[in-house]
A and B are shown apart, each in its own frame.
Chain A
Amino acid sequence: MKQRIPLVCTLALAAALAPPAAAQEEVYLRVTSPGLTRVMIALPGFPSRPGTDQAAAASLVATLRKDLDETAAVGLVPEQNASLVVVDPGNPTLTRQRWRAVGAQFLLDGSLAGAGNQIVLEVRLWDLTSGEIAYSRRLQGSVGLAPTIAHTLANELVHLFTGRPGPFLSRFAFVSDRSGSKEIWVMRWDGTEAQQLTSHRSIALSPAWSPDGDWLAFTSFLRGNPQLFILRPTQGYLKPLSSLPGVNSSPSFSPDGKLIAFAAGDDGNTDIWVVPAEGGTPERLTHTIGISTQPAWSPSGRQIVFTSAVGGTPQLYVMDTEGTNIRRLTFEDKFADEAAWAPDGVRIAYTTLVEGLFQIAILDLRTNTRSVVAGPGNNESPCWSPDGTVLAFVSNRTGAQQIFMTDPAGRPRQITTEGNNVQPAWVAQVQ
């Protein structure tokens, strides 16, 4: 294992979270398939130097433990096993052996310090096989941001092992009627801190994030017919995007954030159109006989998957971004809609119909196989996590429509509880 230069970096976390440094880190171990063995990390705890805010320290460690437990890529050595390890400061090789004996592959050690209302965390991640430091960091912020510091570190560890963004600062945009009308809301990935973004008292639908989380496009009836608008969640700034006669709906950002594909019907039929995200003249991409809607860009930015009823029933089709080379993707479904392209570019999740109920299906483009993730009730609107290991979806299994998420073991977990909540869109971080 080649020697890695430790990365020492101070992150100043103020009220507005600064974006993480775009470092070109080597991915240490690539965990690409869910279900692959989790990388086990020992986290014995961080001693605090005098002057550290104890409540903030406790909150930071607890948040970090909870986050690392949540992910599919890494796992924490259980505390009862960790407590068996007797550390021998004079014999690091022996200590490493003892950690490995309780199942750890890596050790995260660190310490906390405080000054004024600031809390500082210094950590090092040891590779227990080679004895070398794989990663080190110094993070600092005000004591109120202790959870955010933990989330930032957890995200970095997930990224280190998967090459993909961690979920811990990620958010959902979604549509909720809990205020009395369908509005756009935002919440953290675990359902906490739900906030209402629009109060138009009309009908809002289909939110879509720009890739770096600074814009939300959505559909609203507030000016009469369904039109597209774009909103800056951190500033509440709203501007119109497309107001073709008829329907303007289902926006989807290209991976470079420059274009938005959407469905528009002007002459009575609905087709796929595209408009610059900064505003401009919409251009028509498809000229199908029959409804075409729900476009979604591939992660490479070279293709668009969409739903079309040109063959008689709604099915998935894929085309180049110029609108050429249209090919049908689904042949075994009576109905296929709401395609969501996974970050790996290989899988497409979508809504299908099984015995009269909506269910989530996943199409693997490489093997051309299809699997249905069946559950009670109607299950629809699949949405991939930013790292592609988890699916969020909408289910009415509890009566009202609620957003669910599958945990790393594939078990569904309910995230929303109030009102009806539909059409989730997931972003790694809001800018």
Chain B
Amino acid sequence: MSRPWTNKPLALALCACVAFAFSCAHRKAVVAPEPPSEASAEAKTAPQPPGEGTTVVRPEPRVAAAGHPESGVTTSELPADLEELNKAGYLKDAFFDTNKSELRPDAREALAADATWLKEHPTVKILIEGHCDEHNTAEYNLALGWRRTNAAKDYLVSLAVAADRIATISYGEERPFGTCHDESCWSQNRRVHFVITAR
């Protein structure tokens, strides 16, 4: 049956975003070759302070992780269509251990990145969906999904995202991302999923 918010694999979004990221990277000019001198035959181990005419090379910008385009993209440049916006995968989902609603380090990382993005796009509103794998009963999982989505919201709020921008819902085990009966699907289902509801 059709879901209110689409959930497609991020593969296509990844390609688009990486390409986008690289196209925005700033790169400085290549170092100009030094003119040869009589002293160059001897190996000079001590580095020379830069003199006139030397281009100082700066560190390359970090490659953006999947789903995170370079900072500097303003809200007006985001797709206008909410479906497109959600497909672009700007916000990362966070994943959980079996039966747990505590945030793992990788979950905190994902949520921290989401908080950064949300603060850069202050008009965007989101819905955080709590999901579970098929362990435990359906009713228990409604409650577990609720704990997960609240854990994520509380963390975002602690990182200064305004609480009134964040709606929460639990789907328990009712809307799984993978329907196979092993850990490959279960680990995918134990998550909070982000949906942009207003741009």
Contact = CB atoms under 8 A, between A and B. Distances in A.
B147 A337 contact: no
Contact of B1 (A180, A309, A313, A423): A180
Contacts of B168: 246
Contacts of A307: 140
A205 B151 CA distance: 25
Interface of B: 1, 99, 136-140, 142-144, 146-147, 150-151, 154, 168-171, 174-175
Nearest to A396: B181
A314 B138 contact: no
Nearest to A248: B142
Interface string A252-294: 0000000000010100111000000000000000000001111
Nearest to A266: B146
Interface of A: 180-182, 201, 203, 205-206, 219, 221, 224-226, 246-247, 249-250, 263, 265, 268-270, 291-294, 307, 309, 313-314, 335, 337-338, 351, 380-381, 422-423
A250 B143 CA distance: 11
A201 B170 CA distance: 18
B139 A205 contact: yes
A307 B169 CA distance: 22
Nearest to B147: A268
17 contacts: A180-B1, A181-B1, A182-B174, A203-B175, A205-B138, A206-B138, A225-B170, A247-B142, A249-B142, A263-B139, A265-B147, A268-B147, A269-B147, A291-B140, A291-B144, A314-B140, A338-B137
Given A249-B142, A294-B140, A309-B140, 19 more contacts: A182-B174, A203-B171, A203-B175, A206-B138, A221-B171, A225-B169, A247-B146, A247-B170, A263-B139, A265-B143, A265-B170, A270-B147, A293-B142, A294-B137, A294-B139, A307-B140, A314-B136, A314-B140, A381-B137
A250 B139 contact: yes
B137 A226 contact: no
Contact of A337 (B140, B142, B170, B175): B140
B146 A293 contact: no
Nearest to B137: A337
A422 B138 contact: yes
Nearest to A205: B138
B77 to A, nearest CB: 31
A380 B169 CA distance: 26
Q: Which 6 A-B pairs have the closest CB atoms?
A: A270-B143, A268-B150, A291-B143, A265-B146, A250-B139, A247-B146
Contacts of A247: 142-143, 146, 170
Contact of A206 (B1, B139, B150, B170): B139
A176 B150 CA distance: 29
A381 B140 CA distance: 12
Contacts of B151: 268
Contacts of B142: 205, 219, 226, 247, 249, 263, 270, 293
Of B136, B138, B168, B170, chain A has the most CB atoms within 10 Å of the CB of: B138
B137 A291 contact: no
A380 to B, nearest CB: 7
A293 B154 contact: no
A206 B142 CA distance: 11
Contacts of A221: 171, 174
Nearest to A267: B150
Of B1, B142, B144, chain A has the most CB atoms within 10 Å of the CB of: B142
B135 to A, nearest CB: 9
B150 A226 contact: no
Nearest to B175: A203
Contact of B146 (A182, A203, A246, A292): A246
A182 B171 CA distance: 13
B147 A351 contact: no
A335 B174 CA distance: 21
Contacts of A380: 137
A181 B1 CA distance: 7
Contacts of B171: 203, 221
A249 B174 CA distance: 13
Contacts of A263: 139, 142-143
B143 A423 contact: no
Nearest to A380: B137
Of B140, B170, B175, chain A has the most CB atoms within 10 Å of the CB of: B140
A422 B134 CA distance: 14
Contact of A201 (B1, B136, B146): B1
A65 B123 CA distance: 71
Of A181, A219, A246, A269, chain B has the most CB atoms within 10 Å of the CB of: A246
Nearest to B150: A268
Nearest to A181: B1
